Structure 1
Amino acid sequence: MKLKSGGHTYWAFANANETAHGDHVGHVWNYGLNTWGWERDYKGGGRDFNDLVVQLDFTSAYGHGWLV
């Protein structure tokens, strides 16, 4: 996964992103079952991971139950 904001590209893997204070900065946080939050600010910003929140709902093709 990637996010482009303000001329920067941020990746789901911290090692692919910029460094701050010698550490790579993570821009994606997993909130739980198929829900991710993105931090869009360079060098981590507020680190609140609510700049973009995405939740995917995978349900059965028949309208009930879960795909496993």
Structure 2
Amino acid sequence: MHDTVWFEIQGLPAVTIASSEFHNAAVTQRDALGMSDARFVLVDHPIQDATDDEMRTKAAAVYDQVVDALTT
């Protein structure tokens, strides 16, 4: 969230992408950083041991959400 907030302050659209396990952490961090409207998109957890193909599937599943977060 720190990077997303920094880019947004610079006037550049940004979105954080994290695994679903970190939903509460993302909300807490963006609120603590003073930007409660900072956007984030969650992918299915876990990602650490996911294969390349599994990561492509996870990325494809949230592609539209990422584009929407960056353009609205």
Please indicate the TM-score interval, normalised by the length of the shorter structure: under 0.3
TM-score (norm 2): 0.24
TM-score, structure 1 as length reference: 0.25
Give the structure, 1 or 2, with the largest relative contact order (CA under 8 Å, sep 6 or more).
2
Higher-strand-fraction structure: 1
Structure with more of its chain in helix, by fraction: 2
